[in-house]
């Protein structure tokens, strides 16, 4: 996109390979979590719901949030297997949000990553339950002893994930996004309103990914603050890149319709700042994200590459 790669410096030579390798590990974990054998405390796993959840979760995806979690955790020497499990819980939350956002009552999308959305492949009721069950599974997984030996860490992750995903985070952001379409009357599309909306709708979960790695690695307060700043900047960059892709991307590469945001009257920073303004903001956010990691020196290079990748991605 736009030669941003050249502007911001090349990726790490092995970045793409590491991103793909982590995605494959997350895919394998998600597939294990969603087999049809009930766990202790479960009564039965209805096959239709298992199939719909697998459809929602195993349709590809870069697994960017789990990658950020895993690499943030690695910075503090946390166990990789534990970080992958926490990352798969986080990915369940992300996938649930896509399933519900795609519903006819919400954004009414038929395609996601080039495949039929869950309510198209199954039906609306099944899609609602699929999202519900994925969200629930996320907390089950996050609280399991395999995520961390210290239960205080698991409980803290559960609370942080819930705040990032709920009323004051992602779900609240989707509410504001629907309001920004004018569904419930007037909405002011100022830069401040759009920034809040985006910090909630997409920023909160990406920020959580980075914080969660630090929490898993039992980072100290100053280190957690660094990952928080990094995650907040990457979260904003992610959304601006997304908004630019919607304006400039092509549908084949996106696996979904382009130009939908403008058609739906969505509030984006592109509509507030213009394309050139949004590109400049994006570059500044990547610089800010990279700079935040200065205390970690070269050890954090993979996270810097992740910030650049987030801004330069083409789908």
Residue 113 in the binding site for its own copies (CB under 8 A): no
Residue 166 in the binding site for its own copies (CB under 8 A): yes
Binding segment (CB under 8 A) for its own copies, from list 39-47, 65-73, 240-248, 269-277: 39-47
Beta-strand runs (E) in 122-237: none
Of the pair 1, 106, the CB lying nearest its own copies is at 106
How near is the Cβ of 48 to its own copies at its closest, in Å?
6
Binding segment (CB under 8 A) for its own copies, from list 36-44, 245-253, 261-269, 304-312: 36-44
Q: Report the alpha-carbon distance of residue 27 to residue 34 in Å, rounded.
A: 11
Q: Report the alpha-carbon distance of residue 240 to residue 112 in Å, rounded.
A: 19
What does residue 265 show for φ and ψ, rounded to 5 degrees? Answer: 70, 25
Judged by CB under 8 A, the number of residues near its own copies is: 68
Q: Which of 27, 160, 246, 290 binds its own copies (CB under 8 A)?
A: 160
Residue 144 in the binding site for its own copies (CB under 8 A): yes
Residue 72 in the binding site for its own copies (CB under 8 A): no
How near is the Cβ of 66 to its own copies at its closest, in Å?
19
Q: Report the alpha-carbon distance of residue 31 to residue 54 in Å, rounded.
A: 7
Residue 282 in the binding site for its own copies (CB under 8 A): no
Q: Report the alpha-carbon distance of residue 202 to residue 213 in Å, rounded.
A: 18
Residue 15 in the binding site for its own copies (CB under 8 A): no
How near is the Cβ of 258 to its own copies at its closest, in Å?
23
Strand pairing category for 111-112 and 115-116: antiparallel
Of the pair 176, 247, the CB lying nearest its own copies is at 176
DSSP 146: G
Q: What is the DSSP string of 42-89?
A: -----HHHHHHHHHHHSS----HHHHHHHHHHHHTT--HHHHHHHHHH
Angle between helices 269-292 and 221-248 (to 10 degrees): 140
Q: Which stretches of the chain bind its own copies, using CB under 8 A?
A: 38-46, 48-50, 53, 96, 100, 103, 105-106, 123-126, 128-129, 131-133, 135-137, 139-140, 142-145, 150-152, 154-156, 158-169, 171-176, 178-179, 183-184, 196, 199-200, 204
């Amino acid at each position: 996109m736009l030669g941003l790669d050249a502007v911001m410096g090349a990726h790490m030579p092995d970045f793409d390979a590491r991103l793909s390798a982590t995605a494959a590990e997350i895919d394998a974990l998600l597939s294990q979590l969603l087999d049809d054998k009930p766990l202790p405390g479960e009564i039965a796993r209805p096959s239709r719901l298992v199939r719909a959840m697998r459809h929602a979760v195993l349709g590809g995806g870069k697994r960017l949030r789990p990658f950020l979690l895993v690499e943030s955790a690695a910075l503090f020497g946390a166990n990789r297997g534990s970080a992958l499990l926490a990352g798969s819980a986080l990915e369940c939350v992300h996938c649930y949000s896509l399933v519900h956002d795609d519903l006819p009552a919400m954004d009414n999308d038929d395609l996601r990553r080039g495949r039929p959305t869950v309510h198209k492949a199954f039906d609306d009721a099944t899609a609602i339950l699929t999202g519900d069950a994925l969200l629930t599974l996320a907390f089950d997984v996050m609280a399991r002893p395999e995520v961390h030996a210290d239960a205080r860490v698991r409980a803290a992750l559960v609370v942080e994930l819930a705040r990032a995903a709920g009323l004051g985070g992602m779900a609240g952001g989707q509410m504001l996004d629907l309001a920004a379409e004018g569904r419930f009357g007037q909405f002011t599309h100022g830069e401040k309103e759009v920034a809040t909306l985006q910090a909630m709708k997409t920023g909160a979960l990406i920020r959580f990914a980075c914080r969660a790695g630090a929490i898993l690695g039992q980072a100290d307060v100053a280190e957690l603050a660094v990952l928080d700043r990094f995650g907040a900047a990457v979260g904003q960059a992610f959304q601006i890149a997304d908004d630019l892709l919607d304006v400039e991307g092509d549908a084949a590469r996106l696996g979904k319709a382009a130009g939908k945001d403008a058609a739906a009257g969505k509030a984006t920073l592109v509509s507030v700042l213009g394309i050139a303004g949004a590109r400049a903001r994006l570059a500044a956010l990547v610089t800010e994200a990279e700079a935040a990691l200065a205390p970690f020196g070269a050890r954090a290079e993979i996270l810097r590459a992740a910030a650049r990748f987030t801004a330069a991605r083409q789908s």
